[in-house]
Amino acid sequence: MRSLLQRRSKLMVVALTLLASLTLLTAVPAFGQEVPGGEALVPLVMIMYGVMIVAYIYSALALQVIARKTNTTNGWWAWIPILQIILSLNIARKPTWWIVLCLIPIVNFVFLIMVWMAIAEARNKPSWWGILLIVPVVQFIVPGYLAWSD
């Protein structure tokens, strides 16, 4: 029964992600034609949206795997934007009210680094892995490393 519910929830997440992606992609041509010569930007904008969607799926999947490996409940929250922050706080064993601090510009930068340091510790990795989120390209490697390493 539980595996059936897990399969259905995964199918629902995939369906909602695809629906959101298609909604965004249908809006691209409308915005690309508002400026003279904007039609030339449509392929570039569609590529950018595609990259953003792949990055979102990667980060959500990594966070869900981290939640599973740390025995944190509601791992499917990784697919919903605001709940993603709450899930990260739960994995890091930080108070849920920190979400307010994570929504304040500039302050959020510091607190999200602290949260990812605690997530690294929850995965039995050195806390400096959370600090690596400051480095532009490495910030995409850190969640994957924390999720899929032994």
Q: What share of the chain is helix, strand, coil (3-state, %, to 5)?
A: 80, 0, 20
pLDDT in tens, the chain (150 residues): 566 666 667 777 777 777 676 676 666 665 554 666 667 778 888 899 899 999 999 999 999 999 999 999 999 999 998 899 999 999 999 999 999 988 899 999 999 999 999 999 999 999 999 999 888 888 889 999 999 988
Contact 90, 118 (CB under 8 A): no
Cα–Cα distance measured from residue 14 to residue 112, given in angstroms and rounded to the nearest whole number: 27
Residue bearing tokens 């959370």? 130
CA–CA–CA angle 121, 14, 24 (5° rounding) = 105
14: containing domain: 2-148
Short-list 86, 96, 98, 93, CA closest to 123: 93
Q: How many domains does the chain have?
A: 1
Q: Does the reported pTM lie above 0.85?
A: no
